A and B are shown apart, each in its own frame.
Chain A
């Protein structure tokens, strides 16, 4: 080796003091292209934590993590996506599928850190400089990876539906149901929102798999009225479905109905769970509506002997006598009720508590009592002339029609009210051949009735007159007719932020003559079967009461549920009340078992 070779490595050092040819951190000076797919941005206020980004990610680069600020927010899972840039391949599918369009990508691509484990972050939550970046990849406007429109439910035309009381909706076929089921992103936000916590994503998945028996089993875990709810549920689930943020929510109710429609009633016994061995306990239930029968079903499943006392000749309560058959055919309601009785629930029809059987005797002869007698008394308008013979109640008309009696409404009627009973009374009147005007004191958008019902009501030719306040009922010249005086209202905003209030304009009054006036302005409970002392003891206030945990009341053996014990007064809430009470009664009857279980869990 020559001396030069020996010294040459040391000559390299002279370069150390020269200006470098390379630049330090070169990317900092080169911004990404305007639509570059760089680090993620999430608008966390808009995001509902549905997790579609996590599901679609092919590299498992996204984890949904709990973010405290969003815990417990309605219609929100409380989770937000966390990105792992050791896995992300920057494909942008997460942005394309995002149901809320809250996820996007910045054009930032440089993140310098000495710690290789630090390259993950919760977008929008962890502070990063690119969160407000205006550039980067965005989903093109109008582009949806998931179809935004739901599969339309086949229906009878308005003209056709007016000819009879036949069911208006016809149901999906298999192809339609599968297409609609494919729109579900299986986030489960609906499960938390459904009062009965039905396992919606899994039963929708059963449609994709074509396994309808499994779908039915899943539904019966928390709801023994799937045929009914598949038709008339108030579907809070759909109101929070994230697919509905940018498009139409998944038609959860129609998919539920599809599953039930695929399974024959005679197969229910084979498919569904059977009650466990008898416990020897006896439970009495007052009222065979959705609340009472739901409690009956789950109590029977737990091996208790269940007897339901029902004042009417058939079961279903308001589902039978308050929901017309064009929305819920009797056969479908019977499909649900028949399965409940098939597992050994006994229903004593035409048995009115307080008359045929005394409440006190139930307390004496049963180990627990569940009351769910609903709201059956129509509210009164308290205006002059209300007791006129041609002022009829909406509930009575619906009950008459359900029992094949002619309610005698005539050919021109006015319906007062804006709830579902008012809409149904109007639609029934149309089917009976009457010309119908609905008078409602507020705006159409304020109506408590289901939006769909309002729409169908209008389609069927009912005229809705909003901001119309009835002030007096007056005799007509003909005794078979009646006049109503009503005034126009103007809406005044509530300074406290409540709903706008209608204010009567006394200079804009109208008087019109009708064959009858149907009053449907709300209902209250009938507690005649309880003595005043018992009502007091149970702490009823204005015909309603608020139960304690597990639907328990202040009386040791007595549990309650349904419309008179909740604020929402719909079938699905009553069903959950019944299920919840069944769990409560079970704990009440087996206290030692549950105490031991809790000890074990702790």
Chain B
């Protein structure tokens, strides 16, 4: 992956894979409520994919300089395995940790390339993932950490 297009293609594919992942888990969970939540998560990933497609065609610009709040909730939670009877809390942890992993990946890649367009794109992608992570962490803070 040496060109901007290659990086963007990779990122777009990752978003699609994430959507596929949630749709796959949604097929296996036992309750309709959980299924709906996971399908909503899949939709969210598809929305991210659309944004990246727009970046590729030049209709949307990434903003690596934007400051994104990091609540650091997922950083200290134990990993959750997907299963048929995952709870909403589990689903959010999975989502937060996937976004965190993606953020770390783009950030690490950005550190390894020289300054330039590629670095700009990688840092921009990292910020996009940070935004996604904040979305799920804010939801976790609001819905799960009610008494805490």
Residues of chain B contacted by A422 (CB below 8 angstroms): 147
State the CA gap A471–B147 with chains docked (Å): 16
A506 within 8 A of B: yes
Least CB distance from A511 to B in Å reads 14
State the CA gap A281–B87 with chains docked (Å): 38
Q: A441-B148, A448-B147, A535-B31 are in contact. Are A382 and B72 (CB under 8 A)?
A: no
Residue from A384, A419, A503, A541 within 8 A of B33 (CB atoms)? A541
- Contact assessment for B33 and A542 in the assembled complex, using a CB-CB cutoff below 8 Å: yes
- Contact assessment for B146 and A448 in the assembled complex, using a CB-CB cutoff below 8 Å: yes
State the CA gap A498–B71 with chains docked (Å): 15
- Contact assessment for A521 and B148 in the assembled complex, using a CB-CB cutoff below 8 Å: yes
Interface string of A478-504 (1 = CB under 8 A from B): 000000000000001010001001111
B1 within 8 A of A: no
Least CB distance from A55 to B in Å reads 41
Residues of chain B contacted by A522 (CB below 8 angstroms): 144-148
Residues of chain B contacted by A536 (CB below 8 angstroms): 30-32
- Contact assessment for B142 and A416 in the assembled complex, using a CB-CB cutoff below 8 Å: no
A417 within 8 A of B: yes
Residues of chain B contacted by A521 (CB below 8 angstroms): 145, 147-148
Residue from A419, A471, A532, A542 within 8 A of B76 (CB atoms)? A471
Q: A382-B93, A501-B71 are in contact. Are A421 and B77 (CB under 8 A)?
A: no
- Contact assessment for B30 and A492 in the assembled complex, using a CB-CB cutoff below 8 Å: no
Least CB distance from A269 to B in Å reads 40
- Contact assessment for B71 and A503 in the assembled complex, using a CB-CB cutoff below 8 Å: yes
Most buried by B among A421, A498, A524, A542: A542
- Contact assessment for B148 and A503 in the assembled complex, using a CB-CB cutoff below 8 Å: no
* CB-based A-B contact count at 8 angstroms: 80
Interface string of B124-148 (1 = CB under 8 A from A): 0000000000000010011011111
A241 within 8 A of B: no
Q: A421-B147, A441-B148, A539-B32 are in contact. Are A382 and B77 (CB under 8 A)?
A: yes
Q: Which of B48-78 contact A (CB under 8 A)?
A: 69-73, 75-78
B21 within 8 A of A: no
- Contact assessment for A503 and B31 in the assembled complex, using a CB-CB cutoff below 8 Å: no
A383 within 8 A of B: yes
Least CB distance from B144 to A in Å reads 8
Least CB distance from A567 to B in Å reads 11
State the CA gap A421–B93 with chains docked (Å): 25
Residue from A383, A502, A503, A539 within 8 A of B77 (CB atoms)? A383
Interface size on A, residues (CB 8 A): 38
Q: Which of A397-437 contact B (CB under 8 A)?
A: 416-419, 421-422
- Contact assessment for B33 and A540 in the assembled complex, using a CB-CB cutoff below 8 Å: yes
Least CB distance from B27 to A in Å reads 15
Q: Which of A503-518 contact B (CB under 8 A)?
A: 503-504, 506
- Contact assessment for A384 and B76 in the assembled complex, using a CB-CB cutoff below 8 Å: yes
State the CA gap A382–B79 with chains docked (Å): 8
- Contact assessment for B78 and A382 in the assembled complex, using a CB-CB cutoff below 8 Å: yes
A475 within 8 A of B: no
Most buried by A among B33, B71, B144, B147: B147
Residues of chain A contacted by B77 (CB below 8 angstroms): 382-383
Residue from A383, A524, A539 within 8 A of B78 (CB atoms)? A383
Least CB distance from A499 to B in Å reads 8
Closest to A416 in B: B148
State the CA gap A421–B146 with chains docked (Å): 13
State the CA gap A382–B146 with chains docked (Å): 14
Q: A471-B76, A501-B138 are in contact. Are A441 and B145 (CB under 8 A)?
A: yes
Q: Which of A359-391 contact B (CB under 8 A)?
A: 379-384, 386
Q: Which of B93-148 contact A (CB under 8 A)?
A: 93, 138, 141-142, 144-148
State the CA gap A16–B64 with chains docked (Å): 90
- Contact assessment for B69 and A492 in the assembled complex, using a CB-CB cutoff below 8 Å: yes
Residues of chain A contacted by B14 (CB below 8 angstroms): none
Closest to B74 in A: A382
Q: A382-B77, A382-B89 are in contact. Are A539 and B147 (CB under 8 A)?
A: no
State the CA gap A79–B146 with chains docked (Å): 36
A200 within 8 A of B: no
- Contact assessment for A417 and B78 in the assembled complex, using a CB-CB cutoff below 8 Å: no
- Contact assessment for A542 and B32 in the assembled complex, using a CB-CB cutoff below 8 Å: no
Q: A498-B142, A503-B71 are in contact. Are A472 and B76 (CB under 8 A)?
A: yes
Residues of chain B contacted by A383 (CB below 8 angstroms): 76-78
State the CA gap A533–B87 with chains docked (Å): 17
Least CB distance from A354 to B in Å reads 16
- Contact assessment for B78 and A520 in the assembled complex, using a CB-CB cutoff below 8 Å: no
Residues of chain B contacted by A254 (CB below 8 angstroms): none
Residues of chain A contacted by B89 (CB below 8 angstroms): 379-380, 382
Closest to A543 in B: B87
Residue from A386, A504, A541 within 8 A of B31 (CB atoms)? A541
Least CB distance from A573 to B in Å reads 16
Residues of chain B contacted by A502 (CB below 8 angstroms): 71, 141
A440 within 8 A of B: yes
Residue from B33, B73, B76, B141 within 8 A of A539 (CB atoms)? B33
State the CA gap A535–B85 with chains docked (Å): 12
- Contact assessment for B148 and A418 in the assembled complex, using a CB-CB cutoff below 8 Å: yes
Q: Which of B16-49 contact A (CB under 8 A)?
A: 30-34
Residues of chain A contacted by B148 (CB below 8 angstroms): 381, 416-418, 440-441, 521-522
16 CB contacts below 8 A, A to B, read A379-B147, A382-B77, A383-B76, A417-B147, A417-B148, A440-B148, A501-B69, A502-B71, A520-B147, A522-B144, A532-B30, A539-B33, A540-B33, A541-B32, A542-B33, A542-B87
- Residue numbers of B with Cβ under 8 A of A are 30-34, 69-73, 75-78, 80, 87-89, 93, 138, 141-142, 144-148
Given contacts A382-B80, A384-B78, A540-B31, 10 further A-B contacts (CB under 8 A): A379-B89, A379-B147, A384-B76, A441-B148, A504-B75, A520-B147, A522-B145, A532-B30, A535-B31, A539-B33
Q: Which 8 A-B pairs have the closest CB atoms?
A: A541-B33, A419-B147, A521-B148, A522-B147, A471-B76, A504-B72, A542-B88, A382-B77
